Amino acid sequence: MKKTIPLFVVIFGGLIFVAYAFSPHKFLQDDFYNKFYVPWSYAAAPFAALLGIISLSMMHTSKIKRRAPKWQFSYFFFAGFIVTALAGLIGGMQKGGLLMWMFENMQMPMSATMFSLLAFYMASAAYKAFRARSMEATVLLVAAIVVMLAQVPLGVKISKHLPSISQWILDVPNLASKRGIGLGVGLGSVATSLKILLGIERSYLGGGD
């Protein structure tokens, strides 16, 4: 009841999905997938989102209760969450409303700046890699510098061949390495899917009885 039925659902449902991927039969394509699985998945999905929201809120509540390091900042989390949620649920998502104003003037600038900060950290990581003075690190950095310079006008001023060298790097060695890695990842994901389908891999069911 606790583990066997969910396992049976995954194995039986998974085998139907294997048949769905191969067969164009109306029962599988329309009745099973379009009329059963898709609407049921959409109907159950909001509760999964709710689980995440409750989990994060509980984490911050416990942080405040325990007076954990930097607990005061958890109030900003709640302030941001409550104000945004109320603005959206009461005022709607249309442009000109409070929710979109917060999205455009708070969320977007902050997330864009957060990602732009990574430029500095990547530069620092590149410097550290270069200090390793290994041949591999040098090849990596030379490829990176060629690709970077080819994207800006300065690169063309240095050498008019730089854009074509960069394109060759992207089209030949980069493609070969990505294809090799991609094939390995594909084989690995298919093997993991098969293990789940055959009931060998059960970690997604969690611990306990």
Considering only 68, 85, 154, 156, the residue that binds another protein (CB under 8 A) is 85
Within 87-106, which residues bind another protein (CB under 8 A)?
87-89, 92-93, 99, 101-106
Considering only 68, 122, 156, 158, the residue that binds another protein (CB under 8 A) is 122
In whole angstroms, what separates CA 186 from the centre of its chain?
Answer: 17
139 sits near another protein (criterion: CB under 8 A): yes
Considering only 3, 25, 157, 161, the residue that binds another protein (CB under 8 A) is 3
28 sits near another protein (criterion: CB under 8 A): no
CA angle 99, 100, 106 (to 5 degrees): 90
- Measured distance CA(164)–CA(172) in Å, rounded: 12
- Using CB under 8 A, count the residues that bind another protein: 121
**Exposure of 166 by Cβ count < 10 A (0-12 exposed, 13-18 middle, 19+ buried)?**
buried
- Nearest Cα neighbor of 12 from 199, 201, 161, 186 is 199
Question: Interface mask (CB under 8 A) for another protein, residues 147-186, using x and -?
Answer: xx--xx---------------xxxxxxxxxxxxxxxxxxx
